[in-house]
Amino acid sequence: MPTNAMSGLPEPAKDLWGRPLRSLRISVTDRCNLRCQYCMPEENYVWLPRETLLTFKEIVFLTELFSEHGVDRVRITGGEPLLRKDLASLIGMLQQNTRIQDIAMTTNGVLLAEHAQNLFDAGLHRITVSLDTLKPERFKALTRRDTLAQVFEGIESVGRVGFQGLKLDTVAMKGYNDDELIPLIEYGKRVNGEVRFIEYMDVGGANDWSAEKVLPRKQILALLSQYYGAIEPVHENSSAPAQRFRLSDGTIFGIIPSTTMPFCATCDRSRLTADGMWYLCLYAKSGLDLLKPIRERRSREDLVSMIRSVWETRKDRGAEERKELEASNGRGQFIDIERLRQDPHLEMHARGG
């Protein structure tokens, strides 16, 4: 395999579309302390058996292999990652890998206030908090838990302990929170967080997705410009999923138009589940099992060659394919509930959204 003359490392792996292997989302647990209607609407699930969860040492080892082949950004996800005991020590271990330029985490914020300081001290760079509503009753209806006050405390703790670059991710849904876009932007200004509106996606299968519930990018921009006036795009060369915009007072916000304007062409993301399955796309129905070869103590060369050869044959473009189905009215439920019950990996909460 070709190597870089400066670093001596292999050139980053590229897939069949020339997309580099760069961003790795690492799920550390499939469990969550909320039951959001669009993600985990059932109270009980088939959970991944605990003995199959990757240990921190195994996660660090795999990250090292990935980073030698292109990965330089890591995002810790769940389920809810803060349910994994002693998460800060994993951050501390990952942080020692100097090839990883960015270690971020997505959380629902419920447990964040008590962990923020430890995470910051351990070397976590950035935090994204999911926040779909500012209204306690609405939060309770959506998540089946009454913990919005804890989420606010968590969000406020982020800046207090020293983090920069807070992001607030909102799944925008028609008839649910389309009347809160402006309050959310205003809240973001108060807590120094960049709000990103995500189009509701038809991932997984236990969700209640329908095209009518999607609030498209175009409508989000129209609603916001009615109130804020002119909105200008921020031009940047990035493979990040969010398109960013600037209000006339300088406030930046983002839209992730995964449903109406999929961005598969530049997608450099892949996902490692808490039990070591590696998925190359949010919509992938199968992945590569990395737990088994690790526990069988297969050689480093074997593991590397598996990772590289799988990425080099990648041609996933799940969101684009789902969009193409609209022409034939074929965009129904992605995976039926019986199949989801048989294989917990197919649920989005198992692969970190």
Chain residues binding ligand SF4 by CB under 6 A are 262-264, 267, 269, 281-283, 316-319
State which residue, 168 or 267, has the beta carbon closest to ligand SF4.
267
State which residue, 192 or 260, has the beta carbon closest to ligand SF4.
260
State which residue, 15 or 80, has the beta carbon closest to ligand SF4.
15
Nearest to 111 by CA among 151, 84, 164: 151
Distance in Å, CB of 283 to ligand SF4, minimum: 5
- How long, in residues, is the chain? 353
CB-based contacts of 38-43 (< 8 A; 24+ apart in sequence): 38/171, 38/173, 38/200, 38/207, 38/208, 38/209, 39/204, 39/207, 39/348, 39/349, 39/353, 40/206, 40/347, 40/349, 41/206, 41/207, 41/208, 42/206, 43/144
State which residue, 56 or 334, has the beta carbon closest to ligand SF4.
334
State which residue, 61 or 263, has the beta carbon closest to ligand SF4.
263
Distance in Å, CB of 211 to ligand SF4, minimum: 17
Using CA atoms of 34, 38, 40, 46 in order, give the dihedral in degrees to the nearest 10: -170
How far apart CA 188 and CA 195 sit, in angstroms, is 6
State which residue, 213 or 314, has the beta carbon closest to ligand SF4.
314
Distance in Å, CB of 134 to ligand SF4, minimum: 28
State which residue, 247 or 282, has the beta carbon closest to ligand SF4.
282
Distance in Å, CB of 257 to ligand SF4, minimum: 11
Q: Are 331 and 322 in contact (CB under 8 A)?
A: yes
Ordered DSSP codes for 168-203: EEEEEBTTTTTT-HHHHHHHHHHHT-EEEEEE----
What's the half-sphere exposure (Cβ side, CA atoms, 13 Å) at 301? 1
Distance in Å, CB of 332 to ligand SF4, minimum: 17
Distance in Å, CB of 282 to ligand SF4, minimum: 4
Distance in Å, CB of 138 to ligand SF4, minimum: 28
Using CA atoms of 176, 181, 186, 191 in order, give the dihedral in degrees to the nearest 10: 60
